[in-house]
């Protein structure tokens, strides 16, 4: 009997330790060491796994484990619950209004995404600004052949051959003051878009992924992005594959007190976007539309695009 009791305790602790580590990683004010970026990404899923384990620990009277799991669950709920709280007004804004902007972002996976589907989504979702990451010359040509120019006639692109470093920005209205962030691994083009009577700088975001041996590069890219967007007082929208979830401290540093994550503000739950198109379902919300705090958002949805491992993310941003 003592052996069985000890074995159950052992199993419970083996299951609990990864969940507790995720909670600890999420509580830290930094995420650029060891495997912290990978651990933090599991925060929403750790929330779901912790509750049943807490119940088992409680009813089996393992008090230390119960206390630790209860603390972890409280943290997980505190961090995750805001994603399910809708804004005071949850009425979808009309993309046809002059003061709104319908934004879409998609990572094309080395240009392997289905260009015709991307263009179909632009048309069906009434997209006015499109941000594409991992843009290759061939994919840019495929988008043109699929008729993207007929829908979004203005563009600023920085394609890259056989590399994830390329990005592009398309708009239904003229782009002005085109620019490119400096000091980042991948291209992050930006330009001003006129929305009603307001000029908004839209930036295509794509930092280096936080691979175990390249976490410093990932962190440097996000720091460069953070410093440059916060130094610009122009109203801004950022869209792209941030290679980070809201639970990453580096992403929250980017938001600061100025910006908001559109998915979190819409309150319909985390919009998981990666990995897509594999036996493993999409688990992580890496793709974001980031807006100024005073820009309400609505109708934030993710959508499948064949050929890429990311879901597209679409959002309506109320600028005026």
Burial 108-138 (b: 16+ CB within 10 A, else e): bbbbbbbbebbbebbeebbbbbbbbbbbbee
pLDDT of residue 89: 66
Query: For the domain 100-318, what is the CATH code?
Result: 3.60.10.10
SS3 193: strand
- Residue pLDDT, tens place only, 10-20: 888 899 999 99
SS3 57: helix
pLDDT (mean) for 42-61: 93
pLDDT of residue 8: 74
- Residue pLDDT, tens place only, 213-225: 999 999 999 999 9
Res 4 pLDDT > 80: no
Query: What is the distance between the alpha carbons of residues 31 and 35, in angstroms, rounded to a whole number?
Result: 8
**CA-CA distances (angstroms) from residue 189 to 5, 307, 320?**
59, 24, 24
- Residue pLDDT, tens place only, 186-242: 999 999 999 998 999 999 999 999 998 999 999 999 999 999 999 999 999 999 999
Domain boundaries defined on the chain: 2-84, 100-318
Query: What is the distance between the alpha carbons of residues 91 and 215, in angstroms, rounded to a whole number?
Result: 40
- How many residues in total does the chain contain? 320
- Residue pLDDT, tens place only, 140-191: 999 999 999 999 999 999 999 989 999 999 999 999 999 999 999 999 999 9
SS3 3: helix
Q: Read off the pTM.
A: 0.94
Query: What is the distance between the alpha carbons of residues 230 and 75, in angstroms, rounded to a whole number?
Result: 29
pLDDT of residue 1: 56
In 10 A of CB 99, how many CB atoms?
A: 15
pLDDT (mean) for 43-65: 93
pLDDT of residue 93: 75
Model confidence at 34, in pLDDT bands (50, 70, 90)?
A: confident
């Amino acid at each position: 009997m003592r052996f069985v009791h000890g074995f159950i305790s052992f199993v419970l602790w083996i299951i609990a330790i990864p969940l507790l580590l995720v909670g600890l990683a999420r509580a830290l004010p930094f995420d650029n060491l060891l495997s912290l970026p990978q651990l933090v990404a599991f925060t929403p899923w750790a929330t779901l796994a912790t509750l049943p384990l807490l119940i088992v620990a409680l009813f089996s009277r393992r008090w230390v484990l119960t206390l630790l799991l209860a603390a972890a669950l409280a943290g997980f709920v505190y961090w995750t619950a805001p994603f399910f709280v809708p804004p005071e007004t949850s009425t979808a804004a009309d993309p046809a209004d002059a003061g709104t902007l319908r934004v879409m972002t998609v990572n094309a996976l080395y240009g392997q995404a289905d260009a015709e589907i991307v263009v179909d989504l632009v048309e069906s979702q009434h997209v006015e600004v499109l941000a594409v990451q991992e843009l290759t010359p061939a994919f840019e040509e495929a988008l043109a052949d699929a008729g993207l120019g007929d829908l979004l006639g203005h563009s600023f692109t920085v394609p890259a051959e056989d590399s994830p470093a390329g990005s592009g920005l398309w708009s239904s209205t003229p782009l002005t003051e085109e620019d490119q962030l400096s000091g980042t691994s991948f291209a992050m083009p930006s330009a001003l878009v006129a929305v009603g009577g307001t000029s908004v700088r839209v930036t295509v975001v794509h930092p280096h992924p936080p691979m175990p041996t390249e976490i410093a590069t990932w962190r440097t890219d996000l720091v460069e992005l953070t410093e440059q967007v916060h130094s610009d007082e122009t109203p801004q929208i950022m869209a792209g594959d941030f290679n980070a979830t809201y639970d990453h401290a580096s992403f929250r540093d980017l938001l600061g007190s100025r910006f908001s994550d559109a998915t979190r503000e819409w309150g319909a739950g985390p919009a998981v976007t990666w990995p897509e198109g594999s036996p493993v379902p999409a688990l992580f919300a890496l793709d974001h539309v980031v807006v100024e705090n005073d820009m309400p958002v609505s109708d934030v949805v993710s959508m499948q695009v064949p050929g890429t491992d990311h879901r597209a993310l679409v959002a309506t941003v109320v600028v005026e």
